[in-house]
Amino acid sequence: MNVIEFRRELHRHPELSFEEHRTQRFIIDALEAEGITCRAIAGTGVLAMLEGRRGNLQRAVVLRADIDALPIVEQNAVEYRSQHEGIMHACGHDMHAAMLYGVLKELNRERNFEGTLFGIFQPGEELNPGGASMVLAENPFEGYSVAAVIGQHVDARIDVGQVGICPGVFMASNDELRFTVRGRGGHAARRSDIDDSVSAMADMVLRTTSLNTPDSVVSVGRIIAEGATNVIPSSVYAEGTMRTFDAEARERIYRHIDDNARAVEQRYGVSVDVDISRGYPSVVNDVMLAYEAMIMAADEGIEVVEFGRIPMAEDFGYYTERYPSLFYRLGVGAASGGSHTATFLPDEAAMDVGCRMMQRMALHMLNK
């Protein structure tokens, strides 16, 4: 099976985060058909292992791909469109998994490298707490010295044949915000008999979004007030997202949100419940790995676009907290459309570039 066939099979049968049962079975069957040792990990993920023919087998490099899909109805008119209505590989994870399969298949032919190569087909990247945290909770690399964890993600903002690399802090942490304002509801005309939960929530939202800075994102995307033109509801609910690049800034914003809730309570006579679901940490690339990757890319004839920080989040951040790691973007071209949309269709020509890049980096780190 080649990487395009592998990718299209996954695309036909997408599965949501932590529900990747068919995907897991397909990946295990494909790897075992190539004689590659593998096992289940993190519930619905797969961990593959290749031992080199020389060197210290306790020295390891880890390649990671995510495998979950999104709750989106696909609108692409392609032969391999999703057969699972309402679920779609709209973020390129099918391509990530296919490229990892291709690299493992190629390196398994001769295993002409030092040390041990691991491949993680990781579940649940799109959903807190993130499959990466569950992988690491199992300590799969205990007893190994991990030289590098390497991952890639398709990106329509750069062309096929390009990779985007950012040394150091790259992607933001991700927290989910949920607010509930409670007070006395009632007739909107009887102001003295009610607590204006709607105005209180509006104030809470404005105070929250005022915490935005060039390096921190605090947004509220959903508000539910089950009232009417003349009814003030007894409770109003809102939820949003928070992104930061710095752990201290993250903690500082937590404190500001709590202070704002107390101020709103005092001003409107309501109660404000704040629920912050802590998500992924920031992705912080190892600087030396990033610059080595730039050299490797140039050697392969792959153009490097030096990226700055981006406010998107990725559970790959858990790997960067524990091991020297590199997460880079793989160009699929603007014609692919926007990720997380019903018409996202990345150019499959990028998979050759992604396989070459990941394989070159793996061999470089193993034989270093």
Does residue 14 share a domain with residue 87? Answer: yes
pLDDT in tens, 196-225: 999 999 999 999 999 999 889 999 999 999
Residues 264 and 285 placed together within one structural domain of the fold = no
Regarding whether 163 and 291 lie in a shared domain, the answer is yes
> Which tens digits make up the pLDDT trace of 26-50?
999 999 999 999 999 999 999 999 9
Question: Is the same domain home to 148 and 46?
Answer: yes
20 and 88 belong to one structural domain: yes
Last residue of one domain, picked from the residues 278, 313, 337:
278
Max distance between CA atoms of the chain, in angstroms, equals 81
**Beta 325-331 vs 145-155: how paired, if at all?**
parallel
Same domain membership, residue 116 and residue 15: yes
Q: 260: which residues sit within 8 A by CB, 6+ positions away? A: 204, 207, 208
Neighbours of 320 (CB within 10 A): 24
Helices (H) and strands (E) in the chain, counts: 9, 17
What CATH number does the domain containing 226 carry?
Answer: 3.30.70.360
341 in the same domain as 228 = no
Q: What is the CATH number of the domain that holds 309?
A: 3.40.630.10
What local confidence, expressed as pLDDT, does residue 128 receive?
A: 86
For each successive 10 residues of the chain (368 residues), what is the average pLDDT? 97 98 98 98 98 95 98 96 97 98 97 97 94 98 97 97 97 96 96 95 97 93 96 97 93 96 97 95 97 95 95 95 98 96 97 97 94
pLDDT in tens, 317-353: 999 999 999 999 999 999 999 999 999 999 999 999 9
How many structural domains is the chain composed of? Answer: 2
Domain final residue, candidates 278, 303, 322: 278
pTM: 0.91
Which of 230, 262, 278 marks a domain boundary?
278
Q: Which residues contact 235 (CB under 8 A, 6 or more apart)?
A: 180, 181, 182, 183, 185, 197
Q: Which domain holds residue 138?
A: 3-172+281-366
Please enumerate in sequence order all residues whose Cβ is within 8 A of that of 17, keeping only pairs 6 or more positions apart, or say none: 68, 123, 124, 125, 126, 127, 131
In the prediction, which pLDDT does 368 show? 83
**Based on the domain organization, do 167 and 182 belong to the same domain?**
no
For residues 133 and 168, membership in a common domain is answered with yes
